[in-house]
Amino acid sequence: MQALVLERQGELSLRDIDLPLEVGPSDVKIAIHTVGVCGSDVHYYTHGRIGPYVVRAPMVLGHEAAGTVVEVGAQVKGLKVGDRVCMEPGVPDLSSRASKLGIYNVDPSVTFWATPPIHGVLTPFAVHPAAFTYKLPDNVSFAEGAMVEPFAIGMQAAARARIVPGDVAAVIGSGPIGIMIALAALAGGCSRVLISDFSKEKLAIAGRYDGVTPVDLSQESFAAAVARETADWGADIVFEASGSPKAYSGIFDLVRPGGALVMVGLPVEPVTFDVPGAIAKEVRIETVFRYANIYDRALALIASGKVDLKPLITGTYAFKDSIKAFERAASAQPTDVKLQILMD
């Protein structure tokens, strides 16, 4: 079958590739309908690596996906041919110590779509364990189903934050994940969320949501905005979602005494971290790596109508134009939040 293949850093091709499609007793085969273009996909395309994960051989991209079940294994219950589904892309070793502790997202042996050397799903069909495949409610579109994966990261961040109803949160970075964190934080009980960026276009998108206050960093510092909005107390929770090392300069000026810092963005350069600043306020520090035991919750929240992710889809491409989609994503147009590729 054809697939979008990252041949090597900076080189994409749409070509035939031989991928295993044998359906095991606990698996389902899915006709892929919609795939989101993730920042990690783009980073592998432009840089060839993310930390220890290095593209050493041709790899199919794509891990934010939804589609239709076309075959089910003999032991599968709860799913049938014709069901519309989304898929959690990371499959852990269920016998691992991490899985037994409920933190399978940090299982060292997890296999995650489009993470070297595992192929992704920008291809017509994929086989996946039924246990990590979720039926879409009738009111959730394929496009929204493909948004569950990035929204699950926002949900994981909100869960790690231990939100108390009425909390005020501050989010650094209004990219796709930053906005989804803001929405998850509001759904989790925050009364308000301030979100910062230099991109007026992305801030305008974030500011359309009730409860989200955009802060343009070209006009004022985030610390000044947070101080003004919290009577100089600070945010109860600060989410770092930009991945910029510069974001850590003065980051503890944003958080109140006894508050929390949740680190989500992955810097590619070294970070200077103000340990005395954290200790002086007894800031609780949490980290987020993907998600665990939250995918179905993210889907349920979208289906409830309490979170509307449709405004974040700013462009769609046909499968035959996948390379153009990635070229656009790599150009980082300020009006883009989430691009998607339609497989049929």
Report the distance separating Cα 131 and Cα 262, nearest Å: 29
Retrieve residue 133's tokens: 């495949």
The domain containing residue 51 runs over which residues?
Answer: 2-147+309-342
Q: How many domains does the chain have?
A: 2
At 66, the pLDDT band (50, 70, 90 cuts) reads: very high
Three-state secondary structure of 126-185: EEEEHHHEEECCCCCCHHHHCCHHHHHHHHHHHHHHCCCCCCEEEEECCCHHHHHHHHHH
Residues 24 and 134 in one domain: yes
Q: Is the pLDDT of residue 120 over 90?
A: yes
Q: In terms of pLDDT, which residue wins out, 261 or 52? A: 261
The percentage of the chain sitting over the pLDDT mark of 70, rounded to a whole number, equals 100
* Whether this model's pTM surpasses 0.85: yes
295 domain-assigned: no
Q: What pLDDT is attached to residue 153? A: 98
Residues 136 and 190 in one domain: no
* Mean pLDDT for all residues in the chain: 96
Q: What pLDDT is attached to residue 46? A: 95
96 domain-assigned: yes
Residues 109 and 6 in one domain: yes
> Is the dihedral angle over the CA atoms 87, 72, 75, 92 positive or is it negative?
negative
CA distances from 274 to 253, 271, 281, 283 (A): 11, 10, 11, 11
Residues 234 and 180 in one domain: yes
Residues 109 and 20 in one domain: yes
Q: Is the pLDDT of residue 51 over 90?
A: no
Residues 101 and 221 in one domain: no
Residues 217 and 334 in one domain: no
302 domain-assigned: no
Here the CATH number for the domain that contains residue 165 is 3.40.50.720
Q: Convert the pLDDT of each residue in 241-293 to its tens digit.
A: 999 999 999 999 999 999 999 999 988 788 999 999 999 999 999 999 999 99
Q: Convert the pLDDT of each residue in 277-336 to its tens digit.
A: 999 999 999 999 999 999 999 999 999 999 999 999 999 999 999 999 999 999 999 999
Residues 184 and 109 in one domain: no
